[in-house]
């Protein structure tokens, strides 16, 4: 029988960190592309490199942070000090991405954002990697991890909703676009920091249920090798990364879809429709996970996400309300796509620890977060490349142009077809995921 050790307050305390991570995961993905193309005048092709390169750097940097946090556990018995470093760092680094002075040339503006984004992404890694690893340490019960991830994803989606709707509103709070983006960056950076610090205040006191590592070899190369050799982790990571590509594309394409397809200039409203149903239906996915199993729930949520995206192809021909309903279907599927992989990840870490007698959560979560980061960077970059190929015209904040029909088609492809195809590719990987709830319970003696 499973032993439940986490109280509701501890669920919430841990999950407050996801509110902070939601800010960094959402705001750059939502507004950075359109900030570059429609305020700074950076061409879509160049903008795609600006949003991509810092995240590709993180593919190598995130596992390094995982390596450092594993060393900290081996030496000090805790990795929570990294959470504070990430929190304070975000307060300083996040606003820099949106602090480009008015009148800066497009080339210099692109370089500014590139360097600032790289700094912010590196700082964020110090919170994100240890934060994910802690889920495998503060409980050893697979059912409890499902509940923990349900709380985490619920608060994460709430955070995504607040930041996704609030960030565009803050930008328009000031009459000048450049000042509006800087104001938004300062406010969002402060809120991210507060969410991360609140999480740290709770988790630093929680007992750890971990298997002590029996090896002194913490080399980075070994961390990659260990994580990749775990079949369950490898399959889950593959499915999750491909889906993150699709989700990142939807996020980046949403402002363009709202503006040019739905005719809604305040894209925060459409983004709200993308997220509110996810919050409402999160308890449903938790119930599905307990009744049907995580793997089946994961596949079901993915199919629902695809259905909603393909339905949104009709947005140009149906009333606005009907188009928003189709987007809401996508939102319901997205909630499950977020919850189930995060609930399954600690199971893969626990399975590896049971088989090997070593605790290597940092190695797994470093590789996991690197894959997620790269996917959420490549997704927006693919959107910008689609727009560049289809003739999208970039502007500064004081210019107005009419986009060609080919660019409008490109927006449709970027928001609907591209992410639907990517998520469809993840389903065969998810179906091969080998761990089941009953197997995990038997292996751990619960």
pLDDT at 397: 61
For the stretch 150-169, what's the b/e string if a residue is b when 16 or more beta carbons lie within 10 angstroms of its beta carbon? bbbbbbbbbbbbbbbbbbbe
Q: Which of 95, 148, 103 is nearest to 344 (CA)?
A: 148
pLDDT at 399: 65
Instruction: Encode pLDDT of 82-132 as tens digits.
Output: 899 999 999 999 999 999 998 889 899 999 999 999 999 899 989 988 888
Give the pLDDT band (50/70/90) at residue 146.
Answer: low
pLDDT for 271 beyond 80: no
pLDDT for 233 beyond 70: yes
What is the average pLDDT across 317-343?
Answer: 89
What is the average pLDDT across 322-327?
Answer: 90
Q: Which of 202, 172, 166, 162 is nearest to 8 (CA)?
A: 202
CA 70, 430, 139, 15 torsion-angle sign: positive
pLDDT at 112: 96
pLDDT at 302: 95
According to CATH, the topology of domain 10-204+219-444 is: Growth Hormone; Chain: A; (1.20.1250)
pLDDT for 197 beyond 90: yes
pLDDT for 427 beyond 80: yes
Give the pLDDT band (50/70/90) at residue 145.
Answer: low
What is the Cα–Cα distance from 371 to 245, expressed in whole angstroms?
10
pLDDT at 59: 73
pLDDT for 216 beyond 50: no
Cα 255 to Cα 38, 133, 267: the distances in Å are 11, 33, 5
pLDDT for 214 beyond 70: no
pLDDT at 354: 76
pLDDT at 2: 44
What is the Cα–Cα distance from 394 to 195, expressed in whole angstroms?
35
pLDDT at 142: 65
Identity of the highest mean pLDDT range in 54-58, 188-192, 380-384, 400-404:
188-192
241 touches 253 (CB < 8 A) = no
Give the pLDDT band (50/70/90) at residue 177.
Answer: confident
Domain-by-domain residue ranges, the chain? 10-204+219-444
| pTM of the predicted protein model | 0.70
What is the Cα–Cα distance from 444 to 96, expressed in whole angstroms?
47
pLDDT at 215: 44
Q: Which of 196, 178, 198 is nearest to 95 (CA)?
A: 178
Provide the token pair at 176. Answer: 């000048």
For residues 32 and 396, the model is more confident at 32
CA 430, 147, 64, 185 torsion-angle sign: positive
222 touches 352 (CB < 8 A) = no
pLDDT at 362: 64
Q: How many CB atoms lie within 10 A of CB 8?
A: 9
242 touches 378 (CB < 8 A) = no
pLDDT at 57: 83
Q: Which of 244, 232, 233 is nearest to 422 (CA)?
A: 244
Contacts of 5 (CB under 8 A, 6+ apart): 139, 141, 144, 207, 209
Q: For 219, what's the count of Cα atoms within 13 Å in the CB-facing half-sphere?
A: 4
pLDDT, averaged across the chain: 83
**For a pLDDT cut of 70, what percent of the chain falls above it?**
87
SS3 letters across the chain: CCCCCCCHHHHHHHHHHHHHHHHHHHHHHHHHHHHHHHCECCCHHHHHHHHHHHHHHHHHHHHHHHHHHHHHHHHHCCCCHHHHHHHHHHHHHHHHHHCCCCCCCHHHHHHHHHHHHHHHHHHHHHHHHHHHHHCCCCCCCHHHHHHHHHHHHHHHHHHHHHHHHHHHHHHCCCCCHHHHHHHHHHHHHHHHHHHHHHHHHHHCCCCCCCCCCCCCCCCHHHHHHHHHHCHHHHHHHHHHHHHHHHHHHHHHHHHHHHHHHHCCCCHHHHHHHHHHHHHHHHHHHHHHHHHHCHHHHHHHHHHHHHHHHHHHHHHHCCCHHHHHHHHHHHHHHHHHHHHHHHHHHHHHHHHHHHHHCCCCHHHHHHHHHHHHHHHHHHHHHHHHHHHHHCCCCCCECCCCCCCCHHHHHHHHHHHHHHHHHHHHHHHHHHHCCCCCHHHHHHHHCC
Instruction: Encode pLDDT of 276-318 as tens digits.
Output: 888 788 888 888 888 888 889 999 999 999 999 999 999 888 8
Residue 186 burial (C-beta neighbours within 10 Å; 0-12, 13-18, 19+):
middle
Instruction: Encode pLDDT of 37-84 as tens digits.
Output: 888 989 888 988 898 888 778 777 877 887 787 777 777 767 788 899
Instruction: Encode pLDDT of 336-389 as tens digits.
Output: 998 888 888 888 887 777 777 766 666 677 677 777 777 877 888 889 899 989
pLDDT at 113: 95
Q: How many CB atoms lie within 10 A of CB 368?
A: 28
What is the average pLDDT across 149-171?
Answer: 81
Provide the token pair at 290. Answer: 């307990």
What is the Cα–Cα distance from 100 to 124, expressed in whole angstroms?
21
């Amino acid at each position: 029988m499973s032993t439940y050790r986490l109280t509701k307050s501890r669920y919430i305390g841990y999950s407050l960190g996801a509110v902070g991570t939601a800010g960094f995961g959402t705001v750059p993905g939502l507004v950075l592309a359109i900030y570059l193309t429609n305020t700074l005048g950076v061409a879509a092709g160049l903008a795609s490199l600006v949003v991509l390169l810092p995240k590709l750097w993180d593919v190598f940097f995130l596992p390094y942070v995982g390596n450092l946090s594993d060393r900290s556990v081996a030496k000090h018995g805790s990795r929570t000090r990294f959470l504070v470093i990430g929190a304070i760092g975000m307060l300083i680094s996040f606003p820099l991405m949106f602090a480009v002075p008015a009148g800066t040339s497009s080339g210099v503006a692109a370089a500014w954002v590139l360097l600032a984004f790289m700094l912010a992404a590196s700082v964020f890694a110090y919170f994100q990697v240890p934060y994910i690893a802690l889920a495998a340490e503060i409980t050893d019960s697979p059912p409890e991890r499902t509940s923990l991830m349900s709380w985490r994803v619920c608060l994460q989606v709430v955070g995504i909703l607040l930041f996704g709707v609030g960030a565009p509103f803050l930008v328009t709070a000031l009459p000048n676009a450049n000042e509006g983006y800087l104001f938004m960056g300062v406010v969002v950076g402060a809120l991210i920091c507060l969410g991360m610090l609140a999480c740290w205040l709770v988790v630093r006191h929680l007992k750890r249920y971990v298997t002590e590592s029996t090896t002194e070899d913490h080399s980075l190369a070994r961390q990659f090798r260990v994580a990749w050799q775990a079949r369950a982790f490898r399959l889950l990571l593959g499915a999750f990364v491909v889906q993150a590509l699709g989700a990142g594309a939807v996020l980046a394409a949403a402002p363009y879809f709202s503006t040019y397809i739905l005719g809604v200039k305040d894209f925060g409203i459409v983004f709200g429709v993308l997220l509110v149903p996810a919050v409402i239906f999160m308890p449903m996915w938790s119930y599905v996970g307990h009744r049907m199993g995580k793997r089946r729930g994961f596949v079901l949520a993915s199919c629902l996400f695809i259905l909603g995206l393909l339905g949104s192809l009709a947005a140009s021909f149906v009333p606005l309300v009907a188009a928003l309903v189709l987007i809401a279907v996508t939102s319901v599927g997205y909630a499950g796509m977020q919850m189930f992989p995060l609930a399954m990840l600690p199971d893969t870490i626990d399975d590896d620890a049971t088989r090997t007698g070593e605790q290597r959560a940092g190695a797994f979560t470093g590789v996991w977060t690197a894959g997620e980061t790269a996917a959420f960077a490549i997704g927006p970059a693919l959107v910008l490349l689609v727009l560049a190929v289809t003739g999208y015209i970039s502007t500064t904040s004081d210019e107005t142009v009419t986009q060609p029909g080919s660019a409008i088609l490109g927006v449709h492809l970027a928001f609907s077809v591209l992410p639907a195809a990517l998520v469809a590719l993840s389903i065969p990987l998810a179906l091969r995921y080998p761990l089941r709830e009953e197997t995990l319970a038997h292996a751990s003696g619960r």
